[in-house]
Every structure is written in structure tokens, then in C-alpha cells.
Chain A
Amino acid sequence: MLQTGTGSGLPPGVKVSEALELVRRLYAHPASLTNTVAQAGISSLLGCRTNALSGGEAQRVRFALAIAGDPELVFLDEPTVAMDVEGRRTFWRMMRQFGEEGRTILFATHHLEEADQIADRVIVINHGRVVADGPGATLKAAVTARHLRFVITNPDPDRYDRLEGVTDVRISGTGVTLISLDADATARDLVKSGVDFKDLEVTGACLEDAFVALTERTRCREDDGPG
């Protein structure tokens, strides 16, 4: 298990190699030391004191400790929270390799693109209830919402709101994004309405939209339901 808390999760006053050695000894059949060190990418950290590590380094060491016992199932609770972009990429590359050896990795995250890119199966939980369960692509497909982006000199939000299928309007400068449940109808309506748009672009929803749609749908259902 790998958790992110306030502390480092590592014992103060020892070298990384000593902490790893201890945890390995606590298991009857630990993974090979070389494998663990390589998988977690900590060979350069072995001689460091645990209190001298950066956030990303400490997370890698914690990961090494989590896999030292050669587990078949690994839980990661928001593993990349304290990492920069580079660290995050390296981390997920390591995870992929680790998973390809036939292990299961279960992780919780608020970075939805992370779930989309990494996970084979995504489960969306809203207020303690499972609202969707499947591969990221299926989840996204379930959401019919599309994005219509165009550029216009003087955006007029009230006007776009009334277009067919539009559920949300986002305006930044001269850029307008319409979120629509029926992109074709909205596009036709947009042309008919005589709006002087440029650079129209229609794209599918991202997992974040799917997430919002899924969680909102359940909220509505809860509100409508009896008692």
C-alpha cells in the first residue's frame, strides 16, 4: 500500500537501504532486491538518509517499500500528488512495467486524465456510490456531450445558451466553447442563427466531462427520488 499523508512515511534517522532491508526481512518471500530497486528507480537513493529526500524521491522510496514484499495487488492512494510533470511520467512508466508482470494496481486519483491514460478499468464513485465502471473509452462514449469551439469578435453568452442541445457555455476572450448533448443539432442551429463564427471545431468529451456528467446525473436522481 502506498499512501500520501502529511509525513514522509519513512523512518527518520536511517538510510533508504536500511529501511528497505528491514521491510524485506519482514516478508517471508520478498521480491529480489535488484528488481525492487530497479522498478522503483531508487538505485541512486539507497545511500541517502530518509530525511534528506525530496517529495518525489520519498514517494519512490515508499513505492519500493510497498512492492518489497512482492505483492500481487498494490493500492496507491493519490500517488502522484506531490510530483512534478517529469516525476509523474517516470512514475507511471514504472507502474506500467510493474503491472505488465501480471500484478493488479488499484489507484485513487483526482487527475482524471491520469486514470484515462493509465488505467484499464475506471470506476467512478460519487458520494460513496459506484456510478460508472468500465474502460475509460467506454465511460467517455457513454457521455454524449461534445465540445463546439469557435472564435467570434463579440461573444454574446445569452444567445448561445438558447441554441439547441447546449448545456453549458464557456467564454474566454473571443473564444467560445459550447457543451452540447447533440452536437449536430447545435451546429445546425448555430449556422441558422446567423452567428458570425470562425474556426468551428467539434471535439468529443474528455473523461473529466464524463465524470461531471456521471456525478451530476446521480445527484439529480437522488434529488428527484423519494425521501
Chain B
Amino acid sequence: MSALLSFARFEVVRLLRSWKFLAITVGFPVVFYMLFLGERGSGQVIDGTVPWRVYLMVSMCTFGALVAALNAGGSRLATERSTGWARQLRITPMPAWAYVMTKVTASMLVVLPVLALVELVGLTFGDVRLGIGQWFALTALLWVTALPFAVLGVFVGFMVNAETAYPVVTALMFVLGYFGGLFNPVSQMPQALQSAAKVLPTFHHALLALEFLSGQTLGGINWLILVGYTAVLGLALLWKYRVEEARGLA
């Protein structure tokens, strides 16, 4: 346990020091949000339940969480692995699960400031008005449900190398973002794309928050799909780790 804590602290310190990485990761979704804000009127109501401005903020939170998790897990991890440092760590007595868990936790930590900043923009420029309790509950919900993104990020970091990480992460970001209905409401998409959206974690991540904000009960199916993604990706990650261990790679 003390090994896990030492490694976690080491990782967090390293993360906080890489301010360029943090600035880009946190700044990107915020800038994206601002661009969308400038483009659209805010009077529209989506699917008869939530105003466009709320829909947009939630979508950008989801997008921000995705970007943060993919950058922290995917690109950063792939680069780190290419240096051989991960291999060096693997010969220490630190258990495999501690390594993977720390990486997922570190990604989750990066997600949090992204959510806070996007919400701040929502509050100041986005014309989103919520009670203080609602803000906190929304943040907590968006954060907890970002776990499948964090696991996905680390999984991607394990699957790609330093060169392929960038295109893969970018592709995932836009495929999951666009088809998950983060840039355009799913209900305004063609029928085929609508059914595609319903299997993507981004769609369900945003939908849970929207359900919460419009006072509906949170859909069990949304939770189930997010938990499913976390479990499947988590198992895939474990498998990948085992295969590498057997081959003596990292």
C-alpha cells in the first residue's frame, strides 16, 4: 500500500509540473466551448427538455472529460512507455494493478479541473444558472461517470506507441465526440447515426447529466452502459498487461 501511495504521489507531482500539457488539455475544451457559444443562439430547447445552453455546457463537459482522459492516459502514457521507464518500474516489486490503478487515478485527476473550468465558462459566458448544490452534484456526477474515459485513455496508452498515439487519440476524440452527439444533438442526426450514438459512452455520459439537470430519474441503462465500458476496457487492459508481462515487455 505504501508503494502505491509513493507512486501515486510521484505521478501527481509529475503531472502538476507538466504545466504545458495541463494548459493544452484543460484549455482545449474551454476554447472549443467558447467557439460553440459564439456560433449558436441560446434560445433553442433540445428534445423539449433542456435549453440549448445547458445542453451545450454538459456536452462540453463530456467532451472535456474525454479529451483530458485520452491525453493523460493515451498520449502521455504512450510517450512514457516508449522511454522504457515503465519497464524499469515493472521489475520493482510494485504490483501490476497498482501501476494501472495509479494511471487511471491520475487521468481522473486531470478530468476534474477540466470539468470545473468548463462549468465556470458555463456560469459566466454560457448563461447557465444552477443552485450551488446542483453545481456540486453535477460536477460529482460528471466526474464519477468519466471513469470509462479514464480507463479507455490508459488502454489506448497501452495499445499504441508514441508515434501513433496522436492520430489515434485525435480520431477517438472526434469520433466519440461527434457521434456521441456532443457537437450536435443526437435527435437532429439521421436515424442510422442516432442508433450508433446510443452505443457510445459519450452519449450516455452526457445524457445522465442532462437527466439530472432536468429533474428526471437517472436512466439505469445509461449507468449500465458506462459500467459495461469500464469493465470491458478494464479487462482488456489487464489482458494487455499480462501479455506484455509474459513477453517481458512493458
Residues of A within 8 A of B (CB): 1, 3, 5-14, 18, 22-23, 25-28, 62, 65-66, 69
Contacts and interface: CB of A to CB of B under 8 A. Distances in A.
B7 A26 contact: yes
Contact of A12 (B83, B91, B94): B83
Q: Which 8 A-B pairs have the closest CB atoms?
A: A7-B83, A9-B84, A25-B6, A26-B92, A5-B84, A7-B84, A11-B85, A22-B10
A25 B2 contact: yes
B13 interface: yes
Interface in B70-129: 79-80, 82-85, 87-89, 91-94
> Which of A5, A12, A69 has the most chain B CB within a 10 Å cutoff?
A12
Contacts of A12: 14, 79-80, 83, 85
A5 B84 CA distance: 7
Nearest to B95: A26
Contacts of B144: none
A26 B87 contact: no
Contacts of B17: 13-14
A13 B92 contact: no
Contacts, number: 66
A196 B7 CA distance: 73
A69 B89 CA distance: 12
A84 to B, nearest CB: 22
Contacts of A7: 82-85
Contacts of B217: none
Nearest to B85: A11
Residue with the greatest number of chain A CB neighbours at <10 A, chosen from B2, B7, B91, B94: B91
B111 to A, nearest CB: 20
Nearest to B90: A1
Contact of A9 (B3, B14, B83): B83
A9 B92 contact: no
Contacts of B87: 3, 5, 9
B88 A13 contact: no
Given A13-B14, A65-B88, A6 B82 contact: yes
Given A14-B13, A69-B92, A26 B3 contact: yes
B18 A9 contact: no
A11 B87 CA distance: 11
Given A7-B85, A14-B13, A18-B10, 5 more contacts: A6-B82, A11-B10, A12-B79, A13-B14, A26-B6
A14 to B, nearest CB: 6
Interface in B58-80: 79-80
A1 B88 CA distance: 8
Contacts of A3: 84, 87
Given A14-B10, A22-B7, A27 B93 contact: yes
B91 A1 contact: yes
Nearest to A25: B6
Contacts of B85: 7-12
B84 A27 contact: no
B10 A27 contact: no
Nearest to A18: B10
Contacts of A9: 83-85, 87-88
A66 B80 CA distance: 18
Contact of B3 (A11, A13, A25): A25
A65 B86 CA distance: 13
A65 B87 CA distance: 12
A213 to B, nearest CB: 32
